[in-house]
Homo-oligomer: A and B are copies of this chain.
């Protein structure tokens, strides 16, 4: 299986470059990490990078896919331990925020790139849409569960998930740009509080 061995080698190389790229994106506050720098930092020639990634977008896509995998992992770990719907929601929110705190600059890059290359045929756009779908699906699960157990009022779970997803998106966008964000737990608690309790007198 020569071809398989070659593929493994190829994947390994790709991973190597993606790791460096992720690190650089993390260190640097702005998107101006050039392909030159990534190559140099990875210890390869710039032209070699283009052997493994046809262009900058594809490299960013690979970084995104890696983040997606890590995100799923992190959330799966903390999933369904707490059976209280509000607790589940809080755990979920906290998990998302935590991931941002781990690598805010990369998240900024993802959002920026997504915005720049919004083309629906763009692979980056699709990848981000996939992540969004994952998040929404999990939220729908939490909400449906909450409605069944009576903690949440009757509503369209999809719309509610959309609403929460937007709050998460906004919060993450802002947090990723915040040099000194509020503590993780306090933020998650507060958000959960407002989401569940609403503004109105109870």
Interface of chain A residues 86 through 135 with chain B (CB within 8 A): 86, 89, 108, 111-112, 115-118, 120
Smallest CB separation, A40 vs chain B (Å) = 22
Given contacts A163-B194, A196-B199, A197-B198, contact A177 B29 (CB under 8 A): no
Distance in Å: Cβ of A135 to nearest Cβ of chain B: 12
Q: Which residues on B sit within 8 Å (CB–CB) of A163? A: 167, 190-191, 194
* Chain B positions within 8 Å of A167 at CB level: 163, 166-167, 170
Contact B111 A155 (CB under 8 A): no
**Do A153 and B201 touch across chains, with their CB atoms under 8 A apart?**
yes
Which residues from chain B contact A174 at a C-beta distance below 8 Å? 166, 169
Chain B residues closer than 8 Å to A118, beta-carbon distance: 29-30, 108, 177
The reply on A42 being an interface residue by CB < 8 A is: no
Binds B, one of A1-9, A56-64, A72-80, A144-152: A144-152
Interface residue range, chain A: 35 or more
| CB closest chain-B residue, reference A198 | B198
Q: How far is it, in angstroms, between the C-alpha of A107 and the C-alpha of B144 when the chains are bound? A: 34
Partner of A199, one of B112, B152, B171: B152
With A30-B118, A116-B31 as given contacts, are A199 and B169 in contact (CB-CB < 8 Å)? Answer: no
CB distance from A161 to the nearest CB of B (A): 11
Which A residues fall within an 8 A CB radius of B? 29-31, 86, 89, 108, 111-112, 115-118, 120, 143, 146, 150-153, 155, 159-160, 163, 166-171, 173-174, 177, 179, 190-191, 194-202
